[in-house]
Amino acid sequence: MTDTPLNTRDASLTKAIMEKIRRVTTQPWNIMEICGGQTHAIMQYGLDQLLPPEITLIHGPGCPVCVTSLEAVEQALQIAARPEVIFTTFGDMLRVPGNKADLFTARSQGADVRVVYSPLDALKFAQANPEKQVVFFAIGFETTAPTIASTILLAEKNDIRNFSILPANVLVPPAMHAILSNPSNRVQGFLAAGHVCAVMGYHEYPPIAEQYRIPIVVTGFEPVDLAAGILMTVRQLESGQHEVANAYPRFVTREGNQTAQNIISRVFEPVDRQWRGIGRIPLSGLGLRPDYASFNAVNRFELDTTPLQESPLCIAGKVLSGVAKPFECPAFGVECTPTHPLGAPMVSAEGACAAYYRYHRTRA
């Protein structure tokens, strides 16, 4: 006889957990969900509206499309414009605005920009088009890094020399440090991203919890997962604890996927990375190790480094840092919409501004 599997979208169970949150909450608390996927799930299922008024959810920078720097987008546009290049990217990056254009516009003007679902698709293009340089826009958190690293190892093994990546991967723990050390920080508890922890585990989080005396709870993406994670966080806050807990044990272990981590560390090393709207965060990105520098597209092309400037109307940095809500931006839903975005959070499938626009959250 087997146990009945958990229905993670069970409305009655979600409401029961919400009732427990109401019973244990005695004072205001600010909790940040790191991942934009969690933000969209919270909006989609109305979890923010079911919580007691004392609980404020703050939306974090865990949207890789949103935090990919303006400089990286401009590099992508310059590379994609070259006639010898097939530029490949995840679909979310097409409408992310650069300084004056985006990859969608570049494609409409003749650039060979192709949407792929995996860097392995890009490698296949390289094999099929040996006369072209095929570049993959390597965005993402730790979740995409193993596949990107594996693709580079495969390209090396098969001597595929017309394949390279534009490195833009970012890491979660340094971003948490940046948020918590910010003088404007309001975060009192974290919901950590379950898919990142499935790869990396959560052994990096206890020092953060101890240093800033803040609870961190690894959480999934379904209503029951999120409600349970919030409950575990509130219980810690109410009792003055600051531990790392796992509310996603069916997919996450403390040590994570060792094989994936080894592949990442073989190909990549931590580097300083510019985060769009936030600034440079030390050792918050993944750069190619010297042995694999030949796969760095930046080394293959001459690129302009003209200083860049974001739209003065966009407050994406404040949104990504948890300092402001999307509807507090004067351009939200007016000058800035999914079809005419000023910032990446309005066009990404994990962007907070896109979630607020889609689910009509226009006030507190």
- pLDDT tens-digit profile of 268-324? 999 999 998 889 999 999 999 999 999 999 999 988 877 777 888 899 988 988 889
Average pLDDT for 77-84: 97
C-alpha distances out from residue 172 to 84, 191, 200, 273, 285, Å:
35, 12, 10, 12, 9
Cα gap 44→59, rounded to integer Å: 14
Closest CA to 349 of 111, 21, 126, 94: 94
Q: Say if 109 falls within a structural domain.
A: yes
Cα gap 204→254, rounded to integer Å: 9
Average pLDDT for 175-181: 95
Q: Are 216 and 190 in contact (CB under 8 A)?
A: yes
Neighbours of 53 (CB within 10 A): 8
Query: What is the domain extent for residue 75?
Result: 22-357
Helix or strand holding residue 358 (H, E): helix 352-358
Give the SS3 label for residue 191.
strand
Local confidence band at 364 (pLDDT 50, 70, 90 cut-offs) = low
Q: What pLDDT was estimated at residue 311? A: 83
Q: Say if 15 falls within a structural domain.
A: no
Largest CA distance in the chain: 66
Average pLDDT for 30-43: 95
> Burial code of 202-221, b = ≥16 C-beta within 10 A, e = fewer?
bebbeebbeebebbbbbbbb
Q: Are 6 and 227 in contact (CB under 8 A)?
A: no
Average pLDDT for 18-22: 97
Please check the confidence at residue 4 and state whether its pLDDT lies above 60. Answer: no
Structure tokens at 309: 């400037």
Average pLDDT for 99-124: 95
Cα gap 111→79, rounded to integer Å: 9
Q: What pLDDT was estimated at residue 5? A: 58
Cα gap 54→178, rounded to integer Å: 25
C-alpha distances out from residue 45 to 39, 56, 240, Å:
10, 16, 29
Average pLDDT for 231-243: 98
Q: Are 34 and 191 in contact (CB under 8 A)?
A: yes
Q: Are 344 and 351 in contact (CB under 8 A)?
A: yes
Q: Are 332 and 353 in contact (CB under 8 A)?
A: yes
Q: Say if 220 falls within a structural domain.
A: yes
318 vs 124: which has the higher pLDDT:
124
Structure tokens at 170: 């970012």
| Rounded (5°) CA angle 91-193-135 | 30
Structure tokens at 54: 């004392």
Tell me which of 3-17, 39-53, 247-261 is least confident: 3-17
Q: What's the CATH number where 128 sits?
A: 3.40.50.11740
Q: Structural domain tally of the chain?
A: 1
Q: Say if 203 falls within a structural domain.
A: yes
Helix or strand holding residue 34 (H, E): strand 29-35
Cα gap 362→364, rounded to integer Å: 7
Q: Are 246 and 202 in contact (CB under 8 A)?
A: yes
Helix or strand holding residue 135 (H, E): strand 133-138
Task: Using DSSP bridges, classify how beta strands 163-167 and 133-138 pair: parallel, antiparallel or unpaired.
Answer: parallel
Q: What pLDDT was estimated at residue 2? A: 41
Q: Are 143 and 171 in contact (CB under 8 A)?
A: no
Percent of the chain with pLDDT over 70: 98
Q: Say if 17 falls within a structural domain.
A: no
Q: Say if 1 falls within a structural domain.
A: no
Q: Say if 14 falls within a structural domain.
A: no
Closest CA to 115 of 95, 101, 131, 130: 95
Please check the confidence at residue 81 and state whether its pLDDT lies above 60. Answer: yes
Q: Say if 3 falls within a structural domain.
A: no
Q: What is the dihedral of CA 143, 201, 31, 222, to 10 degrees?
A: 60
Handedness of CA 7, 11, 14, 19 (dihedral sign): negative
Q: What pLDDT was estimated at residue 53? A: 95
Please check the confidence at residue 136 and state whether its pLDDT lies above 60. Answer: yes
pTM summary value: 0.93
Average pLDDT for 213-226: 97
